[in-house]
Structure 1
Amino acid sequence: MSDRLSVCIVAYHNYDDIENAIRTMEKYTSSNISKKVYVVDNGNTPDVEKENKEFVHFLKNYPDVIYVDAKKNLGFGGGHNKVLQYLDSEYHCIMNPDILFFEDAFKSILRYMDDNKQVGMVIPNIVDEQNHRQLVYRKELTVFDMFIRMFAKNLFPKRIASHTLQDMDYSKPFQVPFGQGSFLVIRTELFKQINGFDDRFFMYLEDADLCKRVNEVSKLMYYPGASVIHKWEQGSHKNRQLFKYHVQSMKYYFNKWGWKWK
Structure 2
Amino acid sequence: MSIAISIVLYDNGDELIEAIESVLAIEADFQLYLIDNSKTNVLKKYAVDPRITYIFNATNLGYGAAHNIALRKSIEQRIKYHLIMNPDVSFEKGTMEKITGFMDDHPDIGALMPKIYYPQGHLQRLCKLLPTPFDLIGRRFLSNTQWAAHQNAKYELDQFGYNKILNTPVLSGCFMFLRTAALEKTGLFDERFFMYLEDYDLARRINRFYRTVFFPGVSIVHGFKKGSYQDPKLLRFHIQSAVRYFNKWGWFFDQERQRLNDNVLKQISAPY
TM-score > 0.5 by shorter chain: yes
Partner SS state of residue 80, structure 2? strand
Q: 1 CA distance for matches of 2:144 and 2:114?
A: 27
- Give the direction of change, closer, same or farther, for the CA distance of 1:192–1:74 in structure 2 (3 Å limit): farther
Contact 1:103 1:227 in 2 (8 A): no
Aligned-pair identity (%): 34
Partner SS state of residue 67, structure 2? helix
Correspondence for 1:193 among 172, 182, 185 = 185
Correspondence for 1:204 among 196, 207, 218 = 196
Correspondence for 2:119 among 121, 124, 129 = 129
Match of 1:84 in 2: 71
C-alpha RMSD of the superposition: 1.6
Aligned pairs for 1:25-44 within 5 A: 25-27=23-25, 29=26, 31=27, 33-44=28-39
Aligned pairs for 1:58-73 within 5 A: 58-60=46-48, 62-73=49-60
C-alpha displacement at 1:44, in angstroms?
Answer: 3.3
Q: 1 CA distance for matches of 2:188 and 2:197?
A: 14
Correspondence for 2:175 among 183, 186, 196 = 183
Match of 1:225 in 2: 217
User: Aligned AA for 2:201?
Assistant: D
Partner SS state of residue 207, structure 2? helix
* Structure 1: runs of 5 or more not aligned: none
Contact 2:82 2:179 in 1 (8 A): yes
Contact 1:42 1:73 in 2 (8 A): yes
* Structure 2: runs of 5 or more not aligned: 259-272
- Give the direction of change, closer, same or farther, for the CA distance of 1:100–1:154 in structure 2 (3 Å limit): farther
Contact 1:84 1:192 in 2 (8 A): no
Moved more, 164-173 or 66-75: 164-173
Name the TM-score, length of structure 2 as normaliser: 0.87
- Give the direction of change, closer, same or farther, for the CA distance of 1:218–1:78 in structure 2 (3 Å limit): same
Contact 2:36 2:57 in 1 (8 A): yes
Name the TM-score, length of structure 1 as normaliser: 0.90
Partner SS state of residue 139, structure 1? coil
Partner SS state of residue 120, structure 1? strand
Q: 2 CA distance for matches of 1:258 and 1:142?
A: 9
C-alpha displacement at 1:162, in angstroms?
Answer: 1.6
